[in-house]
Amino acid sequence: MTASAFLSQLLQLGVALLLAPLLAGWVSQCRAWLQNKSAPSLLLPYRTIHKLFIKDAVVAHNASPIFRVAPYIVFGAMCCAAAIVPSLSTGLPFAQAADTIALVGLFALARVFIALAAMDIGTAFGSLGARREMFVGFLAEPALLMVLFTASLISGSTSLPTIVDSLAHRDLAIYPSLAFAGVAFTMVSLAENARIPVDNPATHLELTMIHEAMILEYSARHLALIEWASALKLFNYSCIGIAIFVPFGIAAGSDDWAAILGAAPALAAKLAIGGFVLALIETLSAKMRIFRAPEFLGTAFLLAVLAMLVHLLLGT
């Protein structure tokens, strides 16, 4: 591993960690604009995290060690994921250790621990949320895998940097399969990031919440880590989407530092647009009943499978 590659890796991880709360703030700001509300500050997520870190943690008496370690594991998994998703350049030495399937595995690991922690305390809401989270995850994962497989089939590799390399540096061509996969990926991202129409990140209405129900028992630094991890998850998903569907502008390799730094504005612009679109989707759609989620995610899975079939048939 060259020093330059190492630096590139560190830079991208740092960017992910620092920008993730900003992206979350941007989405909620767009949402507020679209709904004619006065927007919260763009930096609100940072302040929240900071505030939570300086508070004293309260942990339930009957909490087991799982409850205590879960936030760290979740956060760690998200950091690892951030380390293998190219955001500025494809020079990610760490990515050689883990491909897209491992990426899905990391997300699953985080999900399992947060669900375990939610059940650990034994409150009704925790179990309810855990059950729903696993239900949604169980439906979303195959669809996500199918999307990633489609991209892998097109580029001939399951490693994200390689996918980006081959997709970003091709002749301009229409890929119907990628269009299908893109729609499927959007749907999966909505479900995975606890967004409308599957979940509502801003609600504490017990009948509908999924993600929020699981983390009700957390406070202070634990909650801060989980909030940060959620923001990171959104950031990771956005970067995966950018890497597969609009990879133009991401620098190749880790030697050309001008290109890597030049990729930063492109990334910022793409994230800004992506965040706005997410807010738009959330504003335009209504949250559906939890029992409609299988239909929603089934459609995503269907689209992803179609994308793969279309790719196999048309060769594009």
Partner 1 sequence: MAAGIPFYAQLINLFAAVLLLISFAMLAQRRVLSLIDLFAAQGLALALSTAVVGWGTGQSHLYWSAGVTLTLKVFLLPFLLYRLIRRLDVKWDVEPLINIPTTMLVGIVLVVFAFNLAAPISNLSSTVTRSTLGIAIASVMLSFLMMITRRKAIPQVIGFLAMENGLFFAATSATYGMPMVVELGIALDVLVGMLILGVFFFQIREQFDSLDLKHLEQLREDE
Alpha-carbon distance 144 to 158, whole Å?
13
- Which of 76, 105, 176, 253 is the binder for partner 1 (CB under 8 A)? 176
| Cα–Cα distances in angstroms (integers) from residue 314 to residues 169, 178, 239, 302, 310, in the given order | 21, 12, 27, 18, 6
- The candidate with the shortest Cα–Cα distance to 75, out of 228, 238, 194, 215, is 228
Stretch that binds partner 1, among 84-92, 216-224, 240-248, 297-305 (CB under 8 A): 297-305
Asked whether position 157 contacts partner 1 by CB under 8 A, the answer is no
Asked whether position 294 contacts partner 1 by CB under 8 A, the answer is yes
Nearer to partner 1, 184 or 229 (CB): 184
Q: Give min distance, CB of 147 to partner 1, in A.
A: 15
Nearer to partner 1, 179 or 216 (CB): 179
Q: Give min distance, CB of 277 to partner 1, in A.
A: 20
Residue 141 tokens, joined: 């994962």
Stretch that binds partner 1, among 54-62, 98-106, 119-127, 307-315 (CB under 8 A): 307-315
Q: Give min distance, CB of 313 to partner 1, in A.
A: 5
Asked whether position 284 contacts partner 1 by CB under 8 A, the answer is no
Residue 54: exposure state from Cβ atoms within 10 A (0-12, 13-18, ≥19): exposed
- The candidate with the shortest Cα–Cα distance to 178, out of 212, 206, 155, is 155
Q: 173 in helix, strand or coil?
A: coil
Asked whether position 288 contacts partner 1 by CB under 8 A, the answer is no
Nearer to partner 1, 54 or 174 (CB): 174
Stretch that binds partner 1, among 62-70, 177-185, 204-212, 230-238 (CB under 8 A): 177-185
Asked whether position 215 contacts partner 1 by CB under 8 A, the answer is no
- Which of 180, 218, 228, 245 is the binder for partner 1 (CB under 8 A)? 180
Determine the Cα angle at 110 with ends 106 and 112, to 5°: 115
Alpha-helical regions (H) of the chain: 3-34, 44-54, 65-84, 100-120, 124-155, 160-168, 176-192, 211-214, 220-245, 257-284, 293-314
Positions touching partner 1 (CB under 8 A) are 154, 170-171, 173-177, 179-180, 294-295, 298-299, 302-303, 305-306, 309-310, 312-316
